[in-house]
């Protein structure tokens, strides 16, 4: 039985580590070769958290926490939204920029300072959990990245990244958003590496 459990754990870890997929769905990233800067923005259109919409997930957590301690749910929601924008998205950009900067491509502070806008829509969030023992699930993120030519407003490439997952389970109950930080960062790194490879920077 112990051997069987051990084999199952190895299999689950392998799925978490190697299940990620980065795909150029349409267009070409070759046009990025002569672009000195890119602007990155985020959207959350039709985002799901687990089996729920993000809005339903947030509302459910707020109600649950407020029922336990008055005001705790509202504080959780503020922390969740802050972390999503000011930690997770920032970390995505940070790691993307570290990789591309050495190739001459930097992240612009405003759309006006870049010829390309990468719109990253977060399609799916899995916060992950660790209930102790063998009951756990790693956090993961799915994103769709649209590359928009700022001069024409046309979409020139579309990239999807699925199951960008951490290889560890975080048991921190304070902020669900923080569990996803590394997943956002992994998406940023994978996208940067794809841009470099496809555009031959």
Q: Average pLDDT by consecutive 10-residue portion of the chain (201 residues)?
A: 38 47 96 94 97 97 97 95 95 98 95 97 90 75 98 97 76 59 96 95 74
Q: How high is the pLDDT of residue 134?
A: 67
Question: Which domain covers residue 65, as residue numbers?
Answer: 20-199
Number of domain units in the chain: 1
Interatomic CA distance for residues 90 and 75, integer angstroms: 21
Task: Return the pLDDT at 138.
Answer: 85
Residues facing residue 122 across a β-bridge: 143
In a domain, 189, yes or no: yes
Say if 181 falls within a structural domain.
yes
pLDDT at 3: 42
pLDDT at 168: 53
On whether residue 76 sits in a domain, the answer given is: yes
Report yes or no on 52 lying in a domain: yes
Pair 48, 162: CB distance under 8 Å = no
CATH number of the structural domain spanning residue 107: 3.40.50
| Residue 68 belongs to some domain of the structure | yes
Q: Tell me if 114 is assigned to some domain.
A: yes
* pLDDT on residue 19: 73
In a domain, 161, yes or no: yes
pLDDT of residue 133: 59
Residue 56, in any domain of the structure: yes
């Amino acid at each position: 039985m112990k051997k069987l459990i051990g084999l199952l754990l190895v299999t689950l870890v392998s799925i978490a580590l190697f299940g990620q997929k980065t795909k150029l769905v349409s267009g070409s990233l070759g046009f990025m070769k002569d672009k000195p800067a890119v602007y990155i923005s985020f959207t959350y259109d039709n985002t799901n958290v687990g089996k729920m919409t993000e809005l339903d997930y947030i509302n459910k957590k707020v109600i649950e926490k407020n029922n336990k301690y008055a005001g705790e749910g509202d504080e959780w929601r503020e922390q969740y939204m802050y972390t999503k924008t000011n930690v997770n998205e920032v970390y995505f950009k940070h790691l993307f920029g570290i990789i591309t900067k050495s190739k001459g491509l930097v992240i612009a502070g405003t759309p006006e300072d870049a010829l390309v806008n990468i719109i990253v829509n977060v399609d799916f969030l899995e916060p992950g959990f660790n209930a102790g023992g063998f009951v756990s699930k790693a956090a993961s993120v799915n994103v769709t990245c649209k590359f928009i030519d700022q001069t024409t407003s046309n979409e020139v490439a579309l990239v999807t990244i699925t199951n960008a997952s951490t290889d560890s389970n975080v048991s921190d109950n304070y902020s669900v958003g923080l569990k996803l930080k590394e997943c956002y960062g992994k998406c940023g790194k994978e996208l940067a590496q794809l841009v470099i490879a496809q555009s031959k920077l």
